Amino acid sequence: MTQKLLYVSPVESFVDTSFFQELSRLKLDIHGLSTSQITIHSYLDLKNIPSVSSACHLFLDQQSFNSEDICASPERVRLEGKLYNCNSLEEFKSLDKQQYLAEQGQKIYTKALEDINSAIGFSIISFADLKKYVFYYWVCTPLFQHENQQISILDGPEDIDASFNDKAKVWFTNHYSNWVAIVLENGDINEYTKGLNTSSIRGLLIRDTSNKQDMPSAFLRNFITIFSLDYPEAKELDVFLMRSSTIKSIKLRIRLSETEHTKLKFSGWERNSLSKLMPRAVDLSALIDPLKVAEQSVDLNLKLMKWRIAPELDLDCIRNNKVLILGSGTLGCYTARSLMAWGCRNITLVDNGRVSYSNPVRQPLFEFSDVGKEKAVAAAASLKRVFPLINAKGVQLDIPMIGHPVKDENNERKQFDALVDLIKSHDTMFLLLDSRETRWLPTLLGKFYDKIVMNAALGFDSYLIMKHGNIDDNFGCYFCNDVVVPTDSLTGRTLDQMCTVTRPGVAMLAASQAVELFVSNLQSRGQENVLGECPHQIRGFVNNFTTLKLQSPAYDNCSACSRHILNEYNKRGWDFVKQALNDNNYIEELSGLRRIKEEVENMELEGGEIKIIDSEDDGFEII
């Protein structure tokens, strides 16, 4: 009888783009620098095999990382595999591929000695260039065979008898997690087991993934190798290859050469599109929705912080924090950009002005074409041009100012209500306004509604950064060191007083430090944390390039955050605010500042000595 060597059809993989997207997410968010192999899953669709393919595909997609998402069925067989993701392209290239294949094949072989249905598996080595969105990978389905063993075809292939074919299909339908069964001499089909009388065995019934009429799947080698160990006396046997596709099931008569079961040899690396044994590279930057790429890429540097430098950094609290920026000028623009860099996704900008010709060179969210547009709206639109998925809104609003009498009550009441709604609907408020009296009402409302309030103010060559105290702590606000109530400072200003006259770099310094203080505060709400200290105030001086950390307590007679003010606002709401705007003396009387001033004046008349710390002095504790 003429014998010919058995040739097999290689396994082919199909890797969906969603597989790489999920790999990117897991690498960034969970695995970091770890190179431990992770378990993944795939499936073989035995029914729907493309006519141009030599075998059914090993499918890999987003569901491959969760075994519960891949359901097995009689014609959809699930496989377990391993993924080894390298940390660098150099590591991927230098990895000993043959040794890796042998290690994975040995593991499968060891499991198959206990259960022949475990003789099939797969592994992937990969490297994800998350900056360029290029993925390098190589799939292997480890195949093993003893070095001196040969498998020859004695007869066939020939079609399987129709009645046996039907019986075999029913058997695999009832045992769809099995790959192999034993066919007895009497034609019965039994689950594969060891210890049977070799003379009672006619052959093996095997699920076949090949799409070639005269060539079985490469997996056959693994099954035959295990069978030859379990039944060394069996030298000739029939192999029934069951197929669920349009290709007919076939039978082969094979012969196994004499073997001493020496060293195993392993193969199984997949060939690329040029039929070469080489890895593949996929550039997904042009294939995936650019918005999805952008969404993952904008957080890349932040998530890399957690890999090695700051693993305990909480990025979600920054991402989910809703930030309200009052003032869309130089400070507001730089603050918004810094917040975006930290991954903040919800930003609302408020301003009452329009972009002037002098703004674009100093305020980075504006261009020459924005001149004349509403500042807040133009700034929000600019943020969305930078990152389309950000939730950025611009609100044109006049904030009622203490010391500026009400002229149109209906309009100012609407402005007040809008401001209250904005503050209540956000978690954090940045006070970046031009004057002290503009900051008074937001300061009061921020304390009353227990919001995080970050304050930044500029001088010519100095700046102040401050986080206001909330209801639970005793830190002071922007007005706690004042012994006077803010009044109208805008009327009668000269040009150099109406414009922000400051060294250009000061705003960048102040905005960046305000955002850094905000982020540190979120990590632990005021205590030292993974990012370091979280001071109450920072004062910077560019003339001698020094920075001071300061701390001042809340003032019982503060014109903005004292209990007298908060209680009265709680009782009267808008009516309280209206009276404060119209009557310069009302807040001074209510807060107790007038009484303090009178006591000081009386002490001076009586010849006592007292030092008054006004708003221009540094009456702070340096820490």
Q: Looking at the annotation, which residues are catalytic?
A: 499
Taking the C-alpha atoms of residue 178 and residue 93, their distance in angstroms, rounded to an integer, is 36
How many CB atoms within 10 Å of residue 147?
Answer: 11
d(CA 356, CA 374): 10
- Distance of alpha carbon 250 from alpha carbon 242, whole angstroms: 7
- Does residue 275 come out as left (phi exceeding 0), alpha (psi in the -120 to 50 range) or beta? left
How large is the C-alpha radius of gyration of the chain? 37
User: Looking up tokens 């929000």, which residue turns up?
Assistant: 380
Residue pair 157/249 in contact (Cβ under 8 Å)? The answer is: no
For 112-167, list the strands marked E by DSSP.
Answer: 122-129, 134-146, 151-159
Q: d(Cα 228, Cα 204) in Å, to the nearest integer? A: 12
Only one residue has tokens 């009178």, namely 598
Q: How large is the greatest C-alpha to C-alpha distance in the chain, in angstroms? A: 131
- Look at residue 14 and give its three-state secondary structure: strand
Is the CA virtual torsion 501, 507, 510, 511 positive or negative? Answer: positive
> Tokens standing for 103?
């290690």
The answer to whether 556 touches 591, Cβ cutoff 8 Å, is no
Give dist(CA 100, CA 108) in Å, integer.
13
Distance in angstroms between the alpha carbons of the first and the last residue of the chain: 96
Helix (H, G, I), strand (E, B) or coil at 516: helix
CA distances from 489 to 80, 289, 433, 483 (A): 73, 52, 13, 16
